[in-house]
Amino acid sequence: MTARAQASPVVIYVNNPSSGQSDTETAGHLVGELSGPQRPYDPHRVHREFPVRWQAYIHAHYRNLAHVVNTFQVSEKTARNWWTGATGAVGGHVAVAVQEHPEEALQMLFAAE
The model scores a pTM over 0.75: no
Of the CA atoms within 13 Å of residue 21, those in its CB half-sphere come to 3
Domains of the chain (ranges; CATH) run 43-110 (1.10.260)
Per residue in 71-81, pLDDT (tens digit) is 999 999 999 99
pLDDT grade for 14, boundaries at 50, 70 and 90: very low
Bridge partners, residue 14, by sequence: 23
Q: Which residue has the higher pLDDT, 92 or 11?
A: 92
What is the DSSP code (8-state) at residue 13?
A: E
C-alpha 103, offset from chain centre: 10
